[in-house]
Structure 1
Amino acid sequence: MMHKVLSVLSLLFCFSAIAQKSRVVLSASKTKIEVGETIAFTIESNIEGTTQIDNVPPSFVNSGGINGGISYQMDYNTGNLLIIYTNKEVGAFTKPGTYKIGPAYVKSRSGQSYQSNVITIEVAKKVNLSNGEPSSQQLNEPAFGMIQLNKTSIYEGESIIVGAKVYSRFQPTRIGNYNTFIQRKGIEFQELKNTSRQLQVREEKFHGNMYYTFEYDRNLVFPPGTGSFTLDPFSMDVMQGFKGYSLQSSGAAIEIKPLPNGAPNDFIGAVGSFSLQRKIDTTKIKQGEVFKMTVEVSGTGNIQNSLEPELNLPKGFIVYGDPIVSKDISYGVNGAEGSIEYEFNIQVTTSGSITIPGTSISYFDLDDEVYKTVTTNEHSIEVEKDKSLIATEEKKQASDEAIYKQSDSELRLTKEVKSTESIFGSTLFWSGVSAPILCAFLFIFLVKRREQSADEIETKQVIHQKNKELNDLLARSKSLLHSGENDAYYSSIENTLRKAFELKMAFTDTDRILDKSEIFDFLHQTGQTDLLESVRGVFRTCEESRFGFGASANDRQPVLDQLESIIKTLKL
């Protein structure tokens, strides 16, 4: 029986593969990086075979090998089962420059080759961080720490790179009890993926003395507000064998300049370099129908905090509800890089050949220190008259005119007639009194119903987006399982766990990260003691790996299994 089932599944996969149109896509985790920063090239294809990426320069050093995978997706439009083969190559560039990578090739078992697209990668020189001057007291200590910055003065919305550096008179072998310089809630930051949590100690001459030094905990930080911004000191135990020394660094201050006055009306709060694209799903539509308009903002800077663009729509174009928002953002030394796509549903109540003006956004360019505006092309759309809609409007108009004429005629021809009967208590009286009340109740009911429907749609969209983010994080964790990126793997596990509890706890505060102590309190208050211990265990394993204690390759699969078990228990 089992052999028959497997045979049927194999036939289904084969038929699905035949039905699929050949597709090979080459992509990169980032398109703008610095020398030494980790980047991943991914080949996705629906063709099984050997893969190769052309035009990879000698300056690219593979650090994680080539990892393959397979997944299945259902195409609900055709009913076909899609088989996706993935190959990922991880490494870093050793020289700056602009590189055109690809195309990638997939050679099938039959010997036929299929070609992908070409991508461009810009590699900048490594961003050097500098630190302030140590105090005389620090120079006399066995070890001391300094906060490093790539800039000390920035514009509002601009990011900085912050790292920790330690100078020691003895050679450290490990560290413990590390407390980061980002301790206050409400500070937006992202750990850079090329950060190594393993100690890489080297000797360096500083202030006339030789020290053992190492850099640690490199982050991309988006300081809030304007004026002076202060980073808290970091602290750690620097160990040599069983002996060690506890140190606390000095703090660091950054001056945040406000953006210049005179921001354009279409300014979306973006700081950096950005572009804009727009498309519509049809150029012919019937009056009263709805079409989709997609607007995509892409670029590098603080795109994650940018505002929704305003549509410049002609009269008779009505936007239905809030747009569906899709984000594809990564973080590197240049800031947040990627795109945000807004999908609008728009109803057309007019008719004829109509031109939709271009959509525009403005942003603040950090290189030229001026506001810049980008605008999409116009779109032309043919709207066919809907005769039934017109007839309804004409009938309504005719009815209104008849009522007006009748009233006017009555005003001119009516004679004064006295009646001995009173109108109070009659059918006409009660109809006149009750009709406005009933209309008012009906109006309130319809408004409440509409508001409730809008709230339900918005709630469903938020839940859908958070579920998508959780699934993406879980998929990333699985893809890193057999990679050589130890820090990235455990960071992904921890981020997935936090996202799962954001869904469970209905956490909606976007200005801060859900703290693990809040998760522990939630589980304690809800009496889930067994689950609490499992969650503590996952966090503990991630911290021990990422903060210098290390973890063996055998620990990876169990912590992923434990994570999936927790998500299953939460019933998300």
Structure 2
Amino acid sequence: MRFVLFIATVFSVSCILAQKHVNLSINPGTAEVGETFEITVTFSKTGNIDFGKLPDAFFQDYSVQRGSSQFQGPNGKMTNQHYYKISGFIKKPGNYTFGPVTVTSGNKTHTSNTAIINISQKVKMKGGHITARQLRDPAFGTIEVNKTTLYEGEPLLVRAKIYARYKPTHINNYQPYDMDGALLKHPIGNNSQLKTMIEQFNGEDLYAIDYDKNLLFPTSVGKVKIESYKLNLHQGYQNFPIESGSMTVNILPLPANPPSDFIGAVGTFSVSRDIKQKKFNQGDVITMTIEVSGIGNLHNITAPQLILPKGFTQYGDPKITEEFSIGVRGSEGTILYEYNIEVLASGITSLPSTTITYFDPNLKKYITAESSEDSLDITPVAGVVIDNSNDPKDKRTNELIVQEFNPRENGGSVAPGEFFGTPMFWGGVSVPLTSAFLFLLLVKSRKHTEERKEEKQRKSAQSAALSEKLQAVYSSSQGNDTAAFYDAIDKALRTAYSVKLNKQDEVVSKQEIMSHAESLGGAIKENTTTLFSNIEVAKFSFGSDSVKQQEDLQLLESVLTALKVKK
């Protein structure tokens, strides 16, 4: 039964509070057709809630939750945060926008953000082996995957499947399955709710539960085992312990010798290029935007490498804007790269297309995509010249160098044997050589001192940068901009690892971070993995409640403490 009209009406909730910054979030940000998801509004002043026009395809179930929680802000003060939560499902695939939600308190109305959920078609899953002993039990479980053989970089959908001969009421003591070498574990569907259905298994009608569904991106190759999960499946006070079998998948390496423009992409991708201004002056700096779109491991690709003709120079690293969501097919959307290019060429110039290469797992081969070419009209400017330092006519040959420094080769007036080898010659040679040696020692000592000073200044700058980024995290945690909060978390986490790895701020890649976390092991590996996963889940327009943000803030602080970096 649909409850859209019920939700769209204005709710009077006297026991819930609303704050100036009303926050709307959807958990999870992706689900399959028919899977339940939750919509949460948080606020802190008494008021009326209006959900506005909801998507026509949305069906609300009976579940309505309300409550409050407290968290400690960076100023040490305790803050109350109250919430109103509903749940439902959608039967048609696509991207759906909810909100903004308004909360009216007295004569003031406060408006929330919008939140997006991606609904995908159901994916056919393959289960693991069920033993004869398991089939005799009142309940049993298995691990299901969408593929048993895939290429490195491909997404893998995994879930726990539970069968029972009695109607379950709830689950507790759940210990999840685990897969070594998976950098990202992205939840798909609502794993917090227990939804049972009747399914046939070996000709018998059983209660079935789909549980703990996640999208993984394996990085290891070869036979990789997904370790079993454990849980207690209850019917009221009685329960039956379940331990599933493990599951093995075969991760194939990508073919050797990829093209030089391979960006690490696995899936299906395209590239386009935009230069808004095609007519400009010689010496100008133009903006070139390259858009990479696709489905697969979009979140983990590298920036396209530009191959520019003579007279074009790239300045700095590109500005990166990510606009994608993660669903059962992987990360899907676009990434924009903005490059600053100085142009010293002149006249009508053709700029060759930008190319990228990706690996298509369905075709099992590398595919090259390219943008269109651009014709540029560049007006010459007096005094602006192309750097010709590579011109051969400006280079000094070995013969020229010999002639410059050997009197015998350049027609000098000193004849062999007249002065060479005399005491005056050796005195004249040894004094400057000794002086030069002492001078070099002094220079080397000064250089070592300066290097130590520079290293100290650099570390001080890194600590200052980390402190600045942590302050940005604390500040954004007080607002309702989820994207800004998780962007600040991401930058602070990368900066902390760049300090630990002695690299420039934010240069360190996620791969390097996870590799170092793997070597450290323990809680720091688990916390870093969880943080990156939560960043991917909440960063891209899906929203997150304040309680979840405070949990992630505590995770970040625990990582910094474990890394022993100065905050």
**TM-score, normalising length from structure 2?**
0.59
In the alignment, is residue 155 of structure 1 matched against residue 151 of structure 2?
A: yes
1:95 to 84, 92, 95: 92
Q: Which residue of 2 aligns with 1:35?
A: 33
Instruction: Identify if the C-alpha distance between structure 1 residues 500 and 510 changes in structure 2 by more than 3 Å, giving closer, same or farther.
Output: closer
Q: Which residue of 1 aligns with 2:272?
A: 277
CA–CA distance in structure 1, aligned partners of residues 351 and 460 of structure 2: 27
**What is the Cα deviation at residue 271 of structure 1?**
1.4
Q: What is the count of residue pairs matched by the alignment? A: 450
Q: Is the 8 A contact 2:293 2:335 kept in 1?
A: yes
**What is the Cα deviation at residue 219 of structure 1?**
0.5
In the alignment, is residue 139 of structure 1 matched against residue 143 of structure 2?
A: no
Highest RCO, 1 vs 2 (Cα 8 Å, sep ≥ 6): 2
Q: Which has the higher helix share?
A: 1
CA displacement, residues 290-322 of structure 1 (integer Å, 9 cap, x when unaligned): 655443322210122323322111235444555
Letter paired with 1:138: Q
**What is the Cα deviation at residue 424 of structure 1?**
5.2
1:199 to 172, 194, 199: 194
Q: Is the 8 A contact 1:326 1:340 kept in 2?
A: yes
Letter paired with 2:523: E
Q: Is the 8 A contact 2:35 2:89 kept in 1?
A: yes
**What is the Cα deviation at residue 136 of structure 1?**
0.8
Q: Which residue of 2 aligns with 1:304?
A: 299
**What is the Cα deviation at residue 169 of structure 1?**
2.6
**What is the Cα deviation at residue 563 of structure 1?**
6.8
1:510 to 506, 509, 514: 514
Q: Which residue of 2 aligns with 1:169?
A: 165
Letter paired with 2:346: G
Q: Which residue of 2 aligns with 1:59?
A: 57
**What is the Cα deviation at residue 448 of structure 1?**
6.7
Letter paired with 2:216: V
| Secondary structure of 2:212 counterpart | strand
Q: Is the 8 A contact 2:169 2:236 kept in 1?
A: yes
**What is the Cα deviation at residue 62 of structure 1?**
6.4
Instruction: Return 5+ residue gaps in structure 1 as ranges.
Output: 1-27, 42-49, 66-88, 107-119, 481-491, 523-538, 543-555
CA–CA distance in structure 2, aligned partners of residues 390 and 260 of structure 1: 41
CA–CA distance in structure 2, aligned partners of residues 285 and 453 of structure 1: 43
Instruction: Identify if the C-alpha distance between structure 1 residues 558 and 323 changes in structure 2 by more than 3 Å, giving closer, same or farther.
Output: closer
| Secondary structure of 2:291 counterpart | strand
CA–CA distance in structure 1, aligned partners of residues 460 and 323 of structure 2: 23
Q: Is the 8 A contact 2:31 2:189 kept in 1?
A: no
| Secondary structure of 1:194 counterpart | coil
CA–CA distance in structure 2, aligned partners of residues 254 and 399 of structure 1: 59
User: Over the residues paired in the alignment, what is the CA RMSD in angstroms?
Assistant: 6.2
CA displacement, residues 41-100 of structure 1 (integer Å, 9 cap, x when unaligned): 9xxxxxxxx99999x8633446899xxxxxxxxxxxxxxxxxxxxxxx99753134x789
| Secondary structure of 1:197 counterpart | coil
2:346 to 330, 345, 352: 352
Instruction: Identify if the C-alpha distance between structure 1 residues 510 and 297 changes in structure 2 by more than 3 Å, giving closer, same or farther.
Output: farther
Letter paired with 2:136: N
CA displacement, residues 159-193 of structure 1 (integer Å, 9 cap, x when unaligned): 121110111233322222211111x5432332324
Letter paired with 1:59: A
CA displacement, residues 353-401 of structure 1 (integer Å, 9 cap, x when unaligned): 34432210011234444432211233436375563878999xxx99999
**What is the Cα deviation at residue 248 of structure 1?**
0.5
Q: Which residue of 2 aligns with 1:179?
A: 175
Q: Which residue of 2 aligns with 1:240?
A: 235
CA–CA distance in structure 2, aligned partners of residues 427 and 92 of structure 1: 90
CA–CA distance in structure 2, aligned partners of residues 286 and 453 of structure 1: 41
**What is the Cα deviation at residue 229 of structure 1?**
2.5
**What is the Cα deviation at residue 198 of structure 1?**
1.7
CA–CA distance in structure 2, aligned partners of residues 476 and 190 of structure 1: 27
Q: Is the 8 A contact 1:188 1:512 kept in 2?
A: no
2:204 to 191, 200, 209: 209
Instruction: Identify if the C-alpha distance between structure 1 residues 259 and 519 changes in structure 2 by more than 3 Å, giving closer, same or farther.
Output: closer
Q: Which residue of 2 aligns with 1:73?
A: none
| Secondary structure of 2:432 counterpart | helix
Q: Which residue of 2 aligns with 1:3?
A: none
2:222 to 202, 223, 227: 227
1:434-453 correspondence to structure 2 within 5 Å: 434=436
Identity %: 28
In the alignment, is residue 378 of structure 1 matched against residue 373 of structure 2?
A: yes
Q: Is the 8 A contact 2:261 2:355 kept in 1?
A: yes
Letter paired with 1:352: S
| Secondary structure of 1:387 counterpart | coil
**TM-score, normalising length from structure 1?**
0.58
CA displacement, residues 166-225 of structure 1 (integer Å, 9 cap, x when unaligned): 11233322222211111x543233232423312112333322434332111000022334
Instruction: Return 5+ residue gaps in structure 2 as ranges.
Output: 1-25, 40-48, 65-85, 103-115, 502-511, 535-544
| Secondary structure of 1:422 counterpart | helix
CA–CA distance in structure 2, aligned partners of residues 281 and 467 of structure 1: 37
Q: Is the 8 A contact 1:32 1:334 kept in 2?
A: no
CA–CA distance in structure 2, aligned partners of residues 298 and 253 of structure 1: 32
CA–CA distance in structure 2, aligned partners of residues 559 and 133 of structure 1: 37
